[in-house]
Amino acid sequence: MLFRLLVAADRRPLAKRLSALVGMQDVLVRSIELDKGLVEVVRKNRYDAVVVGTRSFAGVAGLVAALRASSAPPEVVIVTETHDVQSSAAVLAAGGLGVLTTDFGDDELRTAFETLIERARTLRGAATALEQSNARLGQPGELADDPAADLVADLVAASPAMRRAIEVAKRAAVAESTVLLLGETGVGKERIAQLVHVQSPRSSAPFIAINCAAIPAELVESELFGHERGAFTGAHQARRGHFERAHGGTLFLDEVAELPVAAQAKLLRVLEDRQLRPLGSDKLIPVDVRLIAATNRDLGIEIDAGRFRSDLYYRLGVIELELPPLRQRIEDLNCLLDLQLARFNLALGRRLRGFTPPARRALERYAWPGNVRELINVIERAVLLCLGDEISLEDLPRSIARSQDPRPDPAPQQPPPAPPREQLELPEAWLHLPWREVRDALLRDGERVYLSNLLARTHGRIGLTAQHAGLAERSLFEKMRRHGLRKEDFRRATEADPKPPGEPPTED
C-alpha cells in the first residue's frame, strides 16, 4: 500500500534536503512550506506521517498536538536547528514520535525516516488488530485520545469503564480545575495526565511529571518550591522548583499522598494563592500552573489516620477520576496484548505471529496485580525470549504460566442488589508474587468486602454502619462511592427482614 509522507519546512533548502532523503519506492513524498495551514492540509489529505523542519521550537508542541488530534493522526517527527531538552520533552508529551537536529548526517536522518515509515505502517496493523479484537468482543473500541493513537499508549478503551474515564479526561482538559487521579499502580494515571495536558490550552507549555515518593522528605519543599543560595546546608546556588519550571503549563504530582504533612500545607497555600516563596527567600513569586495529582492510596484512610490533610484533598479533587484496574477491564486485555506484541516486534526486530492458545488463555486468566505496566513488561520479556514464531507458555513468567483460576469478575456498571455476604477470593497467581506487588489491590478488595458485609448486616443503615466501622459518615459515603456500593441495594436485598438481629430499628 502506498505510504503518504508530508515534509513541511520553514526554508526551501531544508525541505529539499529532507525530501531527498526518503528513497523508498512505495512512499509518496510531498513538500510544502511550513505555515498556519499545515493542520488543515493534513486533515484534508490524510497523510500517514509528517516531518516538520523548523529553525526553533516556538509553537511546535502545540502544532504536534493539533496534528495528533485529527481523526486519523499521522506520526510526527520534528527536525530543528536547536537542541533543547525541555522543548523536546514537550514535543514527545504532545504525541510526537521524535526530535532530530539538522546537524545529523544524511545517513542518520535517512535511517530515522525509514524507522518513522515502518512505525506508521505498524500502527496501521495495530489498528487492524484492535478492530479484529473488538469484533470478537462485539463492541467498538478506541485507543487513548484517538482511534489510532500511539502504539505505546496504555489507554486501550474498549471497556465501558475506561471509555468513560477517557471521556471525563477529555472534558477536564478544557478547564483549569485541579484533577485528582485515583487507581492502583500501573493503571495509566500518568498517561491520563498527559492526555489532559496535550488536549488543554496549555499543550504548548511544559508538562512536568514528579514522583513525590522518590523525593527525600527533607528535600520536598526545595524540590517543589525552589530555594535561594544558602537556604540550607549544601544550597550553594539558587534553584528553581518544579512549580516555576512548569509555569504556564501542567505539573503532575504522582504519589501525592507520600508528601509530608508540612509540605501538604505549603502546597495548599500555593494552590490557593497562586504564588510561592522559595526556601530562604522573602520574595513571593507568582505561578500559573495547572495541577494534576495522583495516588494509589485510599485518601479517606490517610485522612482518618492524620497522614493527609482533608482540606488539600478537597482542593485537589475538584475533578476526581478513578481508573479501573486491568482485572476489571476484560474487554481491553486482548487489545493490549496484540498492540504490545506489535510494538515490541517493531522495537526488537522480531516477527512473532501471536500467542499460542494456551499462552493467551493463561494471560487472560491472570489477575494482573501490576496492571498495564506489568503487562507491558511481560510482553517485552516474552518477545525477547521467544524462540519460535508464537509466544508460548514457556516464554511467560512462571506466575502467569501456572495461573489456573480466572480473574475476579469486573465490577458491574450498575450494581445489582448486594448479596447478604461477599467473600474475598484470592487469585492463585497472586501467591507467586511478593507482598508489595499485591498489597494495594488486596487492601482495596478487602475494604470492599468488609463494607459490603457490614452494610448487609445493618441493612444499609449508614449511621449504624459508620458506628460499627468507627468512621465518620462522610468517610463511609466516600468509600461506598468508590466501590460502587449503594445503601438502597442492601435495603432491597433484605427488605423481608427490616432490622439486623439484635439491633433496634434506627433512622439515618
Distance CA 76, CA 85 (A): 18
Tens digit of each residue's pLDDT, the chain (508 residues): 567 888 999 888 888 888 888 766 567 888 888 887 888 888 888 788 899 998 888 888 888 888 887 767 888 888 888 877 778 778 877 888 778 888 877 877 777 777 777 766 665 554 544 444 344 433 333 333 343 334 334 466 678 888 888 888 888 998 889 999 999 988 989 989 988 998 889 988 889 999 998 888 888 888 899 888 877 777 778 888 899 999 999 999 999 999 999 999 999 999 999 999 888 888 899 999 999 999 999 898 899 889 999 999 999 999 999 998 998 888 888 888 888 888 788 777 788 888 999 999 999 989 898 898 899 999 999 998 899 999 999 999 988 988 644 444 444 444 444 444 455 566 655 665 667 666 767 777 788 888 888 888 888 888 888 888 888 877 788 788 777 788 877 775 544 444 444 444 444 4
418: which 3 cell numbers?
A: 448486594
For every residue of 486-504, DSSP letters joined together read -HHHHHHHTTTS-S-TT--
CB neighbour class for 233 (10 Å; exposed up to 12, middle 13-18, buried from 19): exposed
Distance CA 175, CA 275 (A): 20
The label of the residue with cell 504536534 reads 64
450: which 3 cell numbers?
A: 468488609
CB neighbour class for 245 (10 Å; exposed up to 12, middle 13-18, buried from 19): middle
Distance CA 341, CA 350 (A): 10
Q: What is the pTM of this model?
A: 0.54
Count other Cβ atoms within 10 Å, centred on residue 316. 28
Give kind and range of the element (H or E) at residue 38: helix 38-45
Fold of 160-322: Rossmann fold (3.40.50)
According to DSSP, the β-strands at 75-80 and 27-33 are unpaired
- Using an 8 Å Cβ cutoff, are 81 and 10 in contact? no
Facing residues of 146 across strands? 143
The segment(s) of the chain belonging to CATH 3.40.50.2300 are 3-121
Distance CA 124, CA 75 (A): 11
| Residues written for the chain | 508
Count other Cβ atoms within 10 Å, centred on residue 152. 12
Q: For the structural domain made of 3-121, what CATH number should be given?
A: 3.40.50.2300
The label of the residue with cell 500511539 reads 150
151: which 3 cell numbers?
A: 502504539
The segment(s) of the chain belonging to CATH 3.40.50.300 are 160-322
Count other Cβ atoms within 10 Å, centred on residue 278. 23
Distance CA 483, CA 270 (A): 32
Distance CA 299, CA 115 (A): 44
pLDDT of residue 146: 40
